[in-house]
Amino acid sequence: MLKYLVIPAALLCATSAHADEGQWQPYQLPQLKSELKRVGIAIPAEKLADLSKHPMSAIVSLGGCSASFVSGDGLVVTNHHCGYGAIQRNSTPEHNYIANGFLAKTRAEELPGGPNTLVYVTDKVENVTSRVLKDVTPAMSGKQRSEAVERAIKALIAECESDKFYRCSVPAFHRGLEYYRIRQMMIRDVRLVYAPANSLGDFGGDIDNYEWPRHVGDYSFLRAYVGKDGRPADPSPDNVPYKSKDFLVVSAAGLKNGDPVLLAGYPGRTSRYKLPAEIRYARDAAYPAKAAEIQSDLNVIAEATASSEGNAVRYASVVKSLNNVMKKTRGLVDGFARKDIAAIKDVQDAEFRAWYGKQPAANKALLAELDALIAADIALSDEEFGYGVATTGDLLKSGSTLYRLAQESAKPDAERESGYQQRDLAFIKARLNRLEQSYVGSVDQARLVAALQRYAKLPKSMHVSGLDGLLPSVDAVPALFAQSQLGDTAQRLSWVGKDAAAITASDDAFLKLAVKIDGVTQSLKERRKELDGNLERVIPQYMAAVIAWKKSQGKPVYPDANSTLRVTYGTVSPYSPKDGITKGPFTTIEGIVEKNTGKEPFNAPANLLEAIKAKRYGQFKDPILGTVPVDFLTSADTTGGNSGSAVMNKNGELIGLNFDSTYESITKDWYFDREITRAIHMDIRYMLWVMAEVDHADNLLKEMTIKYPKK
């Protein structure tokens, strides 16, 4: 049964790659020398595989977005939407940095990014598969297997984090076939340095999201600070800028159609190896339900904040995030309708099963067991979706977090549920504290009322066993808020560290509700643990066989994205979204004038329009376009989490920032279609031009190392 469980790492690399598909682990790049040479990348593959060397040592994660160092003093560049939380945190109706932008002319003027603004610097990746699976036996139940893996992972993390300088993780690759331990330095004093006005940094807003052509300056700057000893420290006025070992040189030389690019970042999640049944579930049930749920929640927030600008500002980051997920989810639904990916996968799956059946060592029961487990996973996912709807709301989530923290804190640290260990305490406090900037009682109450009404209308398959009778009636919700103090930040944080008995004895309405539903919550988690353990037993065997099959065909074999450091490559490329229509790879600042209406979201700043009208192109004028470029397209393989990723030229110099994909490309999370898959990047020349001609960020231009085109 376990013959396919662990295979040599070399098998995970293809003998040749096709097109520009692939989100490659850095260690795989030496296997792709011919491909990198074909595209035109000049950096040696061995250097790209070394995390301690430039340019990989300059690539960082923000925990959901990607970024890169662009100076030796910890200056970080990323997307505007990735820095949005820090911008919103510091905004008030009197000082609305969302609307007006922000620029610190000196270090002293830089603003705190807040406890959720973090910079992660990856410095070590090691294969720990054998250590994770050392205690796993074929006779284990799913839960036993899951718990054995979890114990091993916790031990590996604790070993790695014996130096508090680091934050470590052990994610699975190829759906549990391999495990790698990732060591990252976590910098927790991160400050907002510069962000353009929202009408520039988010020009086109949600209307243009995932669309092409685009004309958005999606960039912002942060700075990483550490203690005087050079080690990460809590935010303090005494901290000093982090001396980044390496940083990217910024190139204003630009690109042209067909030029190669290299992209590095932390892509979130892809599902390229999912089975046809999983695709059909996502297409026909999961994504439509998710889209409907998000839209309903957005409608409630809009109505509840309509009469208050202050409340709208508080929920701006929440709304922006929900809108982004909504647009992508709808794009997936539309993409599945446009191209029958399930049918394509049916053909591939049939070919694989035919090949697998001819292998002498094939486990004849494997595929039938896999199909049964996938069906069970789909059924449980329905219940988990329903649970998520029923428990919408910040105070209910806060109460549940506090009670679970109290329960877990009574156990030895190694035995606690992941996410509630001592190492997680700072993150829990940060989440609880974050509501200071993004919570209004009346809005949260409206969201919970509407969510309970939606939950009641869901199909029975989405109702969690035992939950319905424990939930409050809609009429009882106002009393819950009136009888709870969790809306107050100090009161909310005061429960951190209290034991379960204290919380059980509390008369706070949301703590009482959290205690009431905790049994059902844990039962749902236990069922998930049993199922996941069985999936983790079977799917790695399946994936090992799939990899062997693909390798026999010379096809690319890379793991699905899982928020770890990946490298992809491609070329500047136009595309044809439909017959008779071809879209070029560049947009220019003149397009901003054409789109501008003076009303959101197409309300470009007056000083920007004036600079365009005056044709103050400076040294950022493209010789072919005859003006300043704004955004461009490439064939690079990206997904969510790649936002803010450094787009580099063949020499590893920063020439753009990834921020989006075309609408037709959204289904690339499931299937890479090389003809229409395009990533959207901001041209670094536009950023530099705005900094020089519009926002006069001269201090930052001087701080960065910029290579200007030869005259």
Give the residue numbers marked as catalytic.
81, 218, 643
CA pair distance 470, 622, nearest whole angstrom: 64
Residue type, position 470, single letter: L
What is the token pair recorded at 312? 């709208």
DSSP H or E stretch at residue 221? strand 220-226
The answer to whether 555 touches 13, Cβ cutoff 8 Å, is no
The answer to whether 264 touches 646, Cβ cutoff 8 Å, is yes
Can you name the residues that pair with 220 across neighbouring β-strands?
78
CA pair distance 123, 127, nearest whole angstrom: 14
CA pair distance 445, 451, nearest whole angstrom: 10
What is the token pair recorded at 328? 């992508």
Q: How far, CA to CA in Å, does 55 sit from each of 43, 262, 263, 363? A: 9, 10, 11, 44
The answer to whether 620 touches 689, Cβ cutoff 8 Å, is yes
The answer to whether 181 touches 125, Cβ cutoff 8 Å, is yes
CA pair distance 409, 412, nearest whole angstrom: 7
Residue burial 435-464, b: 16+ Cβ < 10 Å; e: rest: bebbbbeebbbbbbbbbbebbeebeeebbb
What secondary structure does DSSP assign to 287-352, as a single string? HHHHHHHHHHHHHHHHHHHTT-HHHHHHTHHHHHHHHHHHHHHHHHHHHHHHS-HHHHHHHHHHHH
The answer to whether 492 touches 435, Cβ cutoff 8 Å, is yes
At residue 215, φ and ψ (nearest 5 deg) are: -145, 50
Alpha carbon 371 to its chain's center = 29
